[in-house]
Structure 1
Amino acid sequence: DVYDDLSIVKGRHTIKIGMGVERHRLNNSSEAQYADTTLTYASPQDFVNNVLSDYFFVGKLTLGGHRRTYFMPYVQDTFKVRPNLTLYYGLRYEYYTVLKEVYGRQAVVTIACGGFCPKGTPLYGPTYRNFGPRLGLAWIPGGAGGHTVLRAGFGMYYEPNQMDDFSDGHESTGQRVDVSSADVPGLTWPVTPSQLTAPFYSPKAWDPSRHDGYFEDWDFSLQRMFPHGFLGKIAYQGSEGHHLFSAVRFNRINRLTGTRPIPTFGEFNQKGNNGNSNFHSLQVSMERPLTSGWLWGTQYMWAHGLSDNGFGAGEYPHIENYSCIKCSYSSTDIDIRQTLSVNTVYELPFGPGKRFLTSGGVAGKLLGGWELSGIGSASTGRPIDILVDVSPSDRPDGVTRNQRPDLVPGVPIYPANRTINHWFDETFLPDGTPVSPFAVPAVGTWGNVGRNFGRGPGYYEIDTALEELMALTERLNVKFRAEGFNLFNHPIYGDPASDISDPASFGVITNQLNTNPTGLGSSRKIQFMLRLEF
C-alpha cells in the first residue's frame, strides 16, 4: 500500500489532502484443498433410520490468485470559527476494482446465462458512487473557559468486503454437488448414481448487481465538568448500514411449477450486499479523576441493534424466507440492551507523600505504594434464535435449512422462575400433559416466530487487583501484583439450547458463557506477578 498526505495551515484553517492506494493479493481458497463430503439429517430419528436431508460434496480445488486494488483520496478542513467553536468537514472517495483471478479461473453463474456465463464475464459490476462526507463540530457554550462541551458528528463509511468472500468465482470451477430430499425423496447414504436422476451441480455465486456496503454514523454528546473534579457525559450514537454483506440460497424450487430456475443446477449460495442494519444507543457516564488517591468511574449504556441477517452471515445466512428478506429484520445476534460498568482505583494512604508513614523506613517501604483496583460489569442477555428441524421437502421453498416454529397462543414463553434446566416455559394441562410455547409449523408453511425471538441470561462479574511498587534504590524497583477475575466465582451461563426438535435439551443451559480458560465469563482465576524493574 502507498499513502501520501499533505497538511496546510492557513489562518484559522487546517487543511489536509491525501491519497491511499492498496493492492490486495490473496493466493488461497476458503474451501479445503481436498475432497469433502457433508451429510445432513433433519433429526436424530432420521439419522437412526438413514433418511438424509441433504448430501453435499466438493471436489479438490487448486489455489486461486485473487487481485484487487483500492483507491482512496480525501480532503478535510478543521476550521477554528471562534476560540470556543470548531468545525470539521471533509469528503472521502473510495473505489474498489472488481476482483479478478490472475489466470481467469473464475466462473460466473446467473439465471440470465442459464448457468455458467461465458469465460471473461466479470464477477460483478464496479461501484463508482462511494462518496463519504464527514461533518462535525465542537462547541463550548459561554466561551473557551466554560465547563460544558457539546460535540456532534456525521460520516459515511464504505466497506469493500473481505477478500476471501470473493473467492467463490474460482471455487465454482471445482466439482460441487448438493442434493436435498426436496429433489430426491427418500435420499439415503451412501448416495448412488441411481439416486441422482438429474445434475445437481451446486456452484458458488455472487450477485452481479451488488453494491459496496456503507454505514451512516452520527453522534451527539454533552460533557460537563462538575465540582470536585467530577466529569459527566451523556451521549447518543446512531448508525444505519445498507448494502451489507449477506447471502441467500439461490435457485430455489418454484412451488407452483415444481422446478428450479436453472433446472440443471441444484440449490446453492449466492453472496451479495442485500443486508441492512440499524443501531441506536444512549450512553451516560460519570468519572472522578485520581484525586487524593482515589479514582472512580461509572458507565451505563442502553442500546438496540436491528438487522435482517447475522454477523458474518455471508457463508451461513440467517434469513428464513428468501422471498421476504425484510421479514427477518429483527434484533441483531449481539443485541445486548443494557450494560453497566463501574471501575475504581484506590491508593492506600501509606508511605512517602501519603497520609501515614510519610517518613519512609522499613514500614513505609513495606506498606507504601499499594494500590487496590476493581471493575464490576453487568449486562442483560443476548438474543436467542428459536429453531425447528424441518426437512427441505416440508419447507415452502425446499431449502436445506432449519426454520422457525409457530408461537402457541396463550402459553407463556418464560416460566415464573427460570433455571438453567428450564429456561423456556411449559404449561401443563389438567391431565399433566406439558404444552410448549412453540410448535412445528404445518407442512409447506413458514413459522410465525420472528428471528432472535428469545433472550438468554444476563451476567455480572467483579474483577479486582492489588499491587505494590517498592523502590529499592533510585534505579531499582520491585513490582508485585495479584489479580482475581470473577472474584466471587459467580456462574456466568451461556445460552440455552434453542431447537424445539429435541425436547430433552430445549431450554437447557449446559455451558458457561465462556468455555475458554480465561476471559470474561470464565470461572474464577487468581494470578500473581512479581517483576524487577531497572
Structure 2
Amino acid sequence: GEGFTTDFTLPGLDRGNSLFDIRHRVVLNYVWQLPGQNLHGILGAVVGGWSYSGVWSFQKGAHWEPFRGGAARLREISDPSTSCTATDVNTGNCQDLRGDFNVDHGRNDRPDSTVSNFDPSRASWAKGWCPGFSGTASAFEGDCASLGGVPSQAGLPVFSTPCLGCASNLGRNTFVGPGLWQADMTLAKTFKFTERVNLQFEAQGFNVFNHTNFLIATGGGLGHNDLRDGLFGQAGGTLNARNLQFGLKLTF
C-alpha cells in the first residue's frame, strides 16, 4: 500500500511508479457558433445567438499494486495445517500463509506475479475479482481459488506466494488501473434586448454519455488492493454520473 515500505532495510524495493503517474491524457475543447448569428427580426430571435461547446477528456489509468497485510503464519508446504519446524525452514518446506512473506513484521508485502501487466475486465472492477471472499482463508491461492480460481491471464495465475523470507518479484505500482473518458457539453443562447441588456441561457451536461469511470482500488479508506479484502480488486468507487443543469444570467 502507499505510505509503507516493503522492507525497511531495502528501500530500493519500492522504487517504482507513482500513483499520480498518468502516462497519457488528452483533453479536447471546442466552441461552435451555430449558423444564424447575423439574422434579425423574429427569425434572428429564434435561430440566432446559439452556440455549442464541449470538453472531452481521455486518460490512461493510475498505477496500483496488490499487497497482503496479514501477520506471519508459518506452515509446512507439504502439510499447510502443520506449523514449521527448524528442519522445515532449512529444507525449504516452509511457507508463510498470512502475507508477511519476507517475515519482517511489516505486513505490507506484495505477492509474486507471472505477468508484467494485468488488464481486468470492467465487470471485474465493478464486482471485484473474488466476490464473496470473507478474508479469512489462510493462503492467498485459497482466497480466490475457493471462489472460482486465482485471477488469471493467458491461462496463468496472475499472483502467487513468494518463498519464505523472499521479497516479491512484483515491483511497486506495476499495474495500471481503469482509464477515464468523459464528455461535457454546453448549449447556450444569448437573447439581446437592447445594446446593453442581454439574457444568457445555458444548458450544461457533465458526463453526457453517463460513462462509468472507476476510481483506482487503493487509498482513502476505499482500498481493495489488499489480498485479504473481501472486495479485493473492486474499484474504490466511481466518478460522477451524468449531471444536467440549466441557468439564466441577465447582464446589463
Normalized against structure 1, the TM-score is what? 0.34
Q: Which runs of 5+ in 2 are unaligned?
A: 74-99, 131-140, 142-146, 151-156, 218-223
Q: Please state if 1:390 is matched with 2:70.
A: yes
Partner of 2:149: 434
State which of 226, 234, 248 in structure 2 corresponds to 1:530. 248
Question: What's the CA shift string for 1:271-301, capped at 9, x where partnerless?
Answer: xxxxxxxxxxxxxxxxxxxxxxxxxxxxxxx
**1:445 corresponding residue in structure 2:** 166
* Amino acid paired to 1:509: A
**Residues 68 and 107 in structure 2, CA contact (< 8 A), matched pair in contact too:** no
The aligned counterpart of 1:173 is none
Displacement of 1:392 in angstroms is: 7.0
- The alpha-carbon deviation at position 386 of structure 1 amounts to 1.1
Other-structure match for 1:337 = 23
1:406 partnered with 2:130: no
Q: Which residue of 2 aligns with 1:501?
A: 228
1:401-430 deviations in Å (ceiling 9; x for gaps):
4221222x4798446886433669xx9xxx
Q: Distance in 1 between matches of 2:169 and 2:247?
A: 55
Shift of 1:377: 1.2
Amino acid at match of 1:368: G
Aligned counterparts of 1:412 and 1:348: Cα–Cα separation in 2: 46
Deviation for aligned residue 1:445: 3.3
**Which structure carries more relative contact order (alpha carbon 8 Å, separation 6+)?**
2
Q: Name the CA shift for 1:416/1:348 in 2 (closer, same or farther; >3 Å).
A: closer
Q: Which of 194, 205, 208 is the matching residue for 1:487?
A: 208
C-alpha offsets along residues 461-505 of structure 1, whole Å, 9 cap, x if unaligned?
Answer: 111001112211122111111100000111111224211123x42
SS of 1:330 mapped into structure 2: coil
1:321 is aligned to 2:7: yes
Change (3 A) 1:347 1:444: same
Tell me the distance in 1 between the aligned counterparts of 2:109 and 2:241: 34
How far the C-alpha of 1:444 sits from its partner, in A, is 3.6
C-alpha distance in 2, partners of 1:348/1:323?
65
Q: Deviations over 1:85-142 (max 9, x none)?
A: xxxxxxxxxxxxxxxxxxxxxxxxxxxxxxxxxxxxxxxxxxxxxxxxxxxxxxxxxx
Q: CA deviation at 1:318?
A: 3.4
CA distance in 2, matches of 1:331, 1:454: 9
Higher helix share: 2
- Does the alignment pair 1:380 with 2:86? no
Counterparts in 2 of 1:26-45, with a 5 A limit?
Answer: none
The alignment-based identity, stated in percent, is 30
Q: Which amino acid aligns with 1:467?
A: A
Instruction: For 2:232, give the aligned amino acid.
Output: F
Aligned partners of 2:109 and 2:68: how far apart in 1? Answer: 6
1:456 CA displacement: 0.9
* Deviations 1:135-190 (CA, angstroms, capped at 9, x unpaired): xxxxxxxxxxxxxxxxxxxxxxxxxxxxxxxxxxxxxxxxxxxxxxxxxxxxxxxx
Q: Report the 3-state secondary structure (helix = DSSP H, G, I; strand = E; otherwise coil) of the residue aligned with 1:318.
A: coil
AA aligned opposite 1:326: G
Contact 2:103–2:164 (8 Å) recurs in 1: no
Q: Structure 1 398/327 Cα, relative in aligned 2: closer, same or farther at 3 Å? A: closer
Q: Does the aligned pair in 2 maintain the 1:385–1:452 contact within 8 Å?
A: yes
C-alpha distance in 2, partners of 1:395/1:351? 70
Helix, strand or coil for the counterpart of 2:7? coil
C-alpha distance in 2, partners of 1:433/1:487?
A: 37
In the aligned structure 2, how far is the partner of 1:492 from the partner of 1:416?
A: 13
SS in 2 for 1:403: coil
Distance change (3 Å), C-alpha of 1:460 and 1:411: closer
1:506-525 CA-partner distances (Å, limit 9, x unpaired): 2223621x3xxxxxxx1000
Counterpart residue identity of residue 71, structure 2: S
1: distance between equivalents of 2:57 and 2:245? 20
Amino acid at match of 1:499: D
SS across alignment from 1:365: helix
Q: Distance in 1 between matches of 2:120 and 2:103?
A: 35
SS in 2 for 1:363: helix
1:371 aligns with 2:51: yes
Q: How many residues align?
A: 200
Q: Aligned in 2, Cα 1:423/1:375: closer, same or farther, shift over 3 Å? A: farther
Q: Secondary structure at the match of 1:372?
A: strand
SS at match of 1:462: strand
Aligned-partner residue type, residue 15 of structure 2: Y
Q: Is the 8 A contact 1:389 1:499 kept in 2?
A: yes
Q: Who is 1:346 aligned against? A: 32
Residues 439, 389 of structure 1: alpha-carbon distance in 2 compared, 3 angstrom cutoff: farther
Root-mean-square deviation (CA), in Å?
3.3
The code of the aligned residue for 1:526 comes to: L
